[in-house]
């Protein structure tokens, strides 16, 4: 069966979701947890003074932000990391604000969280590279091949379930051979089997 452009995009989206959504959700939750605890470290030395100030004189909001920078001098851009992590509380609380502006203050990471944040960042960067490799594989294979039969020949069996069921084959009609361009080599990402096993164990 020939796959439409929309059909290809839906297949790719479903594969990416199944492979990486659980892992990305887990990483996001850990980022929020670090931001939440960073807020506590930030405010702890000031709480005895904050408690004496009337709440109407304090900046109250639900959002707290911390700026995370890591390995900025790396030669490979994919090894650099620069993000803002946030924590959202259920109610409005005391949170830092930039002086004389309406902008939210982005705190720096507390030294107590350096090691934990470093481990998390490395996991995030590794997952990004894994996703990039899979995206390249899906895009390359689907640009070169347009039918489910062709894709079954180059995709690992673990991905066949995302393709539509093959239609009954019609009798072949011999055609004259014509010159064709050399196909692009399709290489299955090394981390695919590991990702499938990891998702199975975490599921």
More confident residue, 47 or 139: 139
Mean predicted lDDT score pLDDT of the chain: 88
* Amino acid 97: pLDDT: 79
* Confidence check: pLDDT of 13 > 70: yes
> Higher confidence at residue 86 or residue 56?
86
Cβ proximity of 160 and 60 under 8 Å: no
Residue 49 pLDDT: 86
Burial 22-56 (b: 16+ CB within 10 A, else e): ebbeebeebbeebbbbbbeebbeeeeeeeeeeeee
pTM over 0.85: no
User: Is residue 156's pLDDT more than 70?
Assistant: yes
State yes or no: pLDDT of 177 exceeds 90: no
pLDDT at 96: 82
Name the more confident of 185 and 23.
Answer: 23
The mean pLDDT value for 61-82 works out to 92
CA distance 189 to 139: 12
Q: What does the alpha-carbon distance between residue 41 and residue 133 come to, in Å, rounded to a whole number? A: 38
Tell me if residue 167 falls in helix, strand or coil: coil
Residue 182: pLDDT above 70? no
| Residues recorded for the chain | 203
Question: Can you point out the beta strands (E) in 97-168?
Answer: 106-107
Q: In what order do the strands lie in the sheet with 81-94?
A: 81-94, 60-70, 106-107
**Quick check: 180 pLDDT over 60?**
no
The pLDDT tens digits of the residues spanning 74-125 come to 999 889 999 999 999 999 888 887 776 667 789 999 999 999 999 999 999 9
- Report the share of the chain in percent with pLDDT over 90: 60
Residue found under tokens 């004189």: 57
User: In the prediction, which pLDDT does 175 show?
Assistant: 64
Least confident interval from 56-70, 79-93, 178-192 = 178-192
């Amino acid at each position: 069966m020939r796959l439409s452009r929309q059909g290809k995009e839906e297949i790719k989206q479903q594969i990416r979701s199944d492979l990486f959504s659980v892992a990305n959700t887990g990483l996001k939750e850990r980022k929020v947890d670090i931001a939440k605890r960073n807020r506590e470290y930030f405010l702890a030395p000031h709480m005895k003074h904050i408690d004496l100030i009337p709440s109407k004189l304090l900046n109250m909001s639900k959002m707290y932000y911390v700026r995370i920078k890591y390995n900025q001098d790396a030669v490979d851009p994919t090894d650099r990391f620069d993000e803002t992590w946030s924590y959202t509380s259920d109610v409005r609380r005391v949170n830092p604000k930039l002086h004389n502006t309406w902008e939210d203050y982005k705190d720096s990471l507390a030294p107590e969280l350096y090691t934990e944040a470093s481990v998390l960042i490395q996991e995030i960067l590794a997952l990004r590279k894994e996703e990039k490799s899979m995206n390249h594989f899906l895009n390359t294979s689907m640009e070169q091949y347009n039918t489910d039969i062709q894709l079954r020949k180059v995709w690992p069996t673990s991905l066949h379930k995302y393709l539509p069921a093959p239609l009954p084959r019609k009798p072949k009609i011999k055609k004259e051979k014509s010159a064709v361009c050399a196909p692009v080599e399709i290489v299955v990402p090394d981390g695919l089997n590991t990702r499938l096993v990891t998702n199975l164990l975490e599921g």
